[in-house]
Amino acid sequence: MVRSDARENRARILAAAREALTADGSTSMNQIALRAGVGAGTLYRNFPTREALVLAVYQDEVTRIVGTVPGLLAKMPPLEALRHWTTDLVEAMRRKHGLGDALSPGAHQAISEQSYGPVVAAITELLDAGKKDGSIRPDADPGDFLQLTGALWRAASTPQDRAPHMLALILDGLGTHR
């Protein structure tokens, strides 16, 4: 069993890394340890490499976003829940987009492999809820939706943020227009 102080240290490191790396993708491991209030040894014991830390930050963010689906569906109609959830996902990926430059091709592959299943499961849950209430087309496919929305975090990097408009077009195409 992991000690509570070890869990707290890990959480502090992830929070510090998320904040620091989002602001400046070249932040050093030592700067992250200082920001987290832990020693370098504690940081490296949890994350032996910079890549391991970046992967953990990505995974932590995906877990957070995927975990919001039940709450969104409990408080709003499925199509609106899908809009909120996708906006959150796009914002998170926009913040993390610059981190990708620091990762090897193998790390990019690991992120895709670790994230794909949970993200598709969340999209499936949202789409199925909309299909059930008739607000989303019966042929809406989670894989198609993920590919379409993948363009949003790249489009959002431009000075004129087109992502909200593009998301509206995607969601309009999914709707049954009842």
Q: Tell me the pLDDT band of 91, cut-offs 50, 70 and 90.
A: confident
Which residues touch 83 (CB under 8 Å, ≥6 apart)?
167, 171
pLDDT surpassing 60 at residue 1: no
The answer to whether residues 25 and 98 touch, using CB atoms and an 8 Å cutoff, is yes
Query: Which CATH number covers residue 71?
Result: 1.10.357.10
Each residue of 50-83: pLDDT tens digit? 889 988 988 898 999 999 999 999 999 999 999 9
So what's the pLDDT on residue 75?
98
Q: Are residues 140 and 161 in the same domain?
A: yes
CA distance 157 to 2: 39
CA–chain centroid gap for 174, Å, is 22
At residue 136, φ and ψ (nearest 5 deg) are -120, 140
Same domain for 157 and 87, yes or no, is yes
* Stated pTM of the model: 0.82
Is the domain of 113 the same as that of 128?
yes
Domain span at residue 96? 50-174
- Look at residue 34 and tell me whether its pLDDT is greater than 60: yes
Distance of CA 15 to the CA centre of its chain: 14
Kindly state whether residues 44 and 63 are assigned to the same domain: no
Count how many domains the chain has: 2
Residues 11 and 84 reside in one and the same domain: no
